[in-house]
C-alpha cells in the first residue's frame, strides 16, 4: 500500500529547487493561491504527486518556471502565458516605468510585436484614469490571438 503524501512531504523533496518554486508549482497544480499551499493539509492524489514530479524534472532540466505554471509576473501583474510566447523580461518593466513617469502622457498607443501583451496591459492598468489611451497591440503570430483572448477574459 502506498503511504500518504502531503504538501509538506513534497516541499522537502528536490533540494536543488528553491522552496518558492516548489510552492509555485503546487499552487498551479492545486489551483490555489501560494499562501494557501503552506496550510493545505489534505492528502495529495497520485495524479497531483505525478504532476509535481514531472514539473520538478522539467524545471531541473531547464524549463522556465513560467512555462511550467503558465504564469509570469510583470509590473505587479500576474499574466497568463504559454510556450507560444516569450516570457516578458524584467528589463522591459523599465520601459513601462519610463513611459509612466514621462511628462508626455500617451493618448494613442500602438505596440507592434506585442507577444504576451505585457507592455500594453501594464500601461493600460497604470496610466492615469483621466487619460483615455487607445491601444492597438498587434503580433504576427496567430497563436497569440488565442492566448491574448484568454488573458483579457
Ligand atoms: C521578443 S518578442 C517581444 C514581445 C513583447 N513586446 C515583450 O516585450 O515581451 C517579439 C514579438 O514580435 C512578434 N513579431 C515579429 N515580427 C513581427 C512583425 N513583422 N509584425 C508583428 N509582430 C512581429 C513576434 O511574434 C514576437 O511575439
Per-residue pLDDT tens, the chain, 153 aa: give them.
568 999 999 999 999 999 999 999 999 999 999 999 999 999 999 999 999 999 999 999 999 999 999 999 999 999 989 999 999 999 999 999 999 999 988 889 999 999 999 999 999 999 988 887 899 999 999 888 777 667 666
Portions of the chain given CATH number 3.40.50.150 = 82-152
Task: Identify the sign of the CA torsion 17, 18, 19, 23.
Answer: negative
If one looks up domain 82-152 in CATH, what number appears? 3.40.50.150
Mutate to test the pocket of ligand 1, among 66, 93, 115 (most ligand atoms within 8 A of CB): 115
Grid-cell match 499552487, residue found: 27
Pocket of ligand 1 (CB under 6 A): 86, 88, 92, 112-116, 118-119, 138-141
Confidence (pTM): 0.87
b/e map 135-144, b = 16+ CB within 10 Å: bebebeeeeb
Report how far ligand 1's centroid is from the alpha carbon of 114 (Å). Answer: 5
Residues of the chain with CATH 1.10.8.10: 7-68
Nearest CA to 12 out of 1, 2, 3, 23 is that of 23
CA of 147 to the centre of ligand 1 (A): 14
Question: What kind of fold does domain 7-68 have according to CATH?
Answer: Helicase, Ruva Protein; domain 3 (1.10.8)
Amino acid at each position: 500500500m502506498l503511504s500518504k503524501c502531503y504538501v509538506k512531504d513534497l516541499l522537502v523533496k528536490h533540494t536543488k529547487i528553491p522552496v518558492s518554486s516548489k510552492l509555485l508549482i503546487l499552487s498551479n497544480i492545486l489551483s490555489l493561491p501560494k499562501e494557501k499551499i503552506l496550510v493545505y493539509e489534505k492528502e495529495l492524489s497520485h495524479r497531483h504527486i505525478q504532476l509535481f514530479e514531472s514539473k520538478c524534472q522539467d524545471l531541473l532540466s531547464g524549463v522556465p518556471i513560467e512555462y511550467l505554471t503558465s504564469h509570469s509576473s510583470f509590473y505587479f501583474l500576474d499574466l497568463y502565458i504559454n510556450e507560444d510566447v516569450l516570457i516578458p523580461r524584467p528589463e522591459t518593466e523599465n520601459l513601462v516605468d519610463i513611459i509612466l513617469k514621462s511628462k508626455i502622457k500617451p493618448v494613442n498607443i500602438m505596440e507592434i510585436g506585442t507577444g504576451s501583451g505585457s507592455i500594453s496591459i501594464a500601461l493600460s492598468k497604470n496610466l492615469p484614469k483621466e487619460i483615455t489611451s487607445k491601444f492597438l497591440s498587434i503580433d504576427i503570430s496567430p497563436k497569440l490571438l488565442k492566448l491574448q483572448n484568454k488573458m483579457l477574459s
